[in-house]
Amino acid sequence: MKSLGKNVFYHKIFKLVLPIVIQNLLSAAVSSADVVMLNYVGQSSIAAASLAAQYSSILFMVYYGLGTGATMLCAQYFGKGDMRAIEAVEGIALRFSVAISILFAVMSFSVPHLMMRVFTDDAELIGLGAYYLRYISVSYLCWGLIEIYLSILRSIGRVVVGTVLNAVTISFDIFLNAVLIFGLFGAPKLGIIGVAASTSISRVLELIACIVISHFSKDIKLNLRFMFIRNKLLFKDFIRLSLPALGNDVSWGVAFSMYSVIIGHMGADAVAANSFVSIIRNFGTVLCFGVASAGGILLGNEIGENRLEEARANAGRLMKLTVLSGLAGGLLIFAAAPFVLKYAALSETALHYLKYMLLINTYYVMGAAVNTTLIAGVFRAGGDSRFGFICDTIDMWCYAVPLGFLAAFVFKLPVLWVYFLLCTDEFVKWPWVIKHYKSGKWLKNITRDNLFEDA
């Protein structure tokens, strides 16, 4: 097949990147809206919601791992033209996501105080966070189904559907946040509970919308019956390829949550500052992560069509876009810093922390951009999820997390020094990640022929 030119690649990548970036921006907008609105409720509410939301962050990593793991297979099978294999992979991913969603929902509803004690020993934050977890538990039951379905849609290039759906549900979530937090239009004034309740209501409506979209879709359906499709070869491939991706994202997500555990035990000022930083960093990384997701989809389709040399060339072009997106993200954080510092209703100490945390993140996003594009985009497009799992697990659990605990609780370093050391994690793994990329060992066609005849 004739090679796609450079211009054609950039055209294709931008068509995929734009909807994904808009979707990520909308998701970041919800989180920022929560913080902005809770800013008028009180610093304790901001800190408690931030800590409780770490469980949502972990769940997101689980769903992202399952979704991108499924995308590894589905993107290549879509390039191959095998829709039945895609349905079987969707069913396998749903089995895992449904089970995990139920587990988190039951825990959040029944033992929320115990879950909050993992992150803080502050009685006020534990109490507020427990209310948050109990009300948000309903959203967990819907979220897993939604994320898997939208991931499968993305794997075949249908990213606009997810963007439009997110735009509608997120806009509703922000509106409902304001209504329930402040008690507008005669609604009860719920404060931090309003954030969780609005999220749960929005997730239920989003799931209903997915079901409606699926009903009218001619190709990819959200069908729980897919969970009962049995194919030993596909299940074996999913375990071999997708579970390392899931393990990678969960390992990284839980380790990153340990950063909040460390900061959570260094005082409410540090927690509140970190809450604002997390929101601004999310905006700074939306383009980077959009490039990674879009690149993974496009490369996966090309590899499934067995256009390996073309995929290798386009991976190099993808890396150039990644560097540019990382620079843009850092500049965005730098530009936003004065406005955040001006309007954040935090104590003087918290504002001091916030100022320097934002400066650290102006370069931190570059490290995250390169690693995310290579590990979660390029490598997974070629079916290589094992390298990322090993690399991130060693980096986070053998280096970053122990370093953070030692710095905070053994050497008792100041908050900003602890935060700086935690933010070295992305750069420590650069040499190994870039070396693996240059080796080309990640570039493999992982599809099979005659799947259901051999099952």
Containing structural domain, residue 359: 6-442
pLDDT for 455 equals 46
Answer whether residue 103 is part of any domain.
yes
Quick check: is 319 in a domain? yes
Residue 448 belongs to a domain = no
CA distance 267 to 273: 10
367 falls within a domain: yes
Contact 199, 146 (CB under 8 A): no
Q: Torsion-angle region of residue 61: left (phi > 0), alpha (psi -120 to 50) or beta? A: alpha
Phi, psi of 267 (to 5 degrees): 115, 155
What does the pLDDT look like over 285-296, one tens digit per residue? 888 888 888 888
Cα 148 to Cα 65, 211, 293, 311, distances in angstroms = 10, 13, 14, 25
In a domain, 355, yes or no: yes
**Residue 177 within any structural domain of the chain:** yes
Q: Are 354 and 329 in contact (CB under 8 A)?
A: no
User: How many domains is the chain partitioned into structurally?
Assistant: 1
Indicate the pTM of the whole model.
Answer: 0.76
Backbone angles phi, psi at 20, to 5 degrees: -65, -40
Backbone angles phi, psi at 411, to 5 degrees: -85, -15
Spatial CB neighbours of 313, under 8 Å, sequence gap ≥ 6: 3
**DSSP readout, 269-281?**
HHHHHHHHHHHHH
Model pLDDT for residues 90-135, shown as the tens digit of each residue: 999 999 999 999 999 999 999 999 988 887 888 888 888 888 899 8
The SS3 of residue 265 is coil
45-49, 124-128, 373-377, 444-448: which has the minimum mean pLDDT?
A: 45-49
Q: Does the residue 384 lie in any domain? A: yes
d(CA 387, CA 71): 17
pLDDT of 1 higher than 80: no
Residues 128-150 have pLDDT tens digits of 888 889 988 988 989 889 989 98
The pLDDT tens digits of the residues spanning 181-231 come to 788 888 888 877 888 888 889 889 999 999 998 888 887 888 888 888 888
DSSP one-letter string for 202-227: HHHHHHHHHHHHHHH-SS----GGGG
Whole-number Å distance between alpha carbons of 54 and 5: 43
Per residue in 202-227, is it b (16+ CB within 10 Å) or e — as a string? Answer: bbebbbebbeebeeeeeebbbeeebb
Q: Is residue 449 part of a domain?
A: no
What is the signed CA dihedral for 378, 379, 383, 389, rounded to 10 degrees? -140
339-351 pLDDT per residue, tens: 989 888 788 999 9
Burial class (CB in 10 A: 0-12, 13-18, 19+), 265: middle
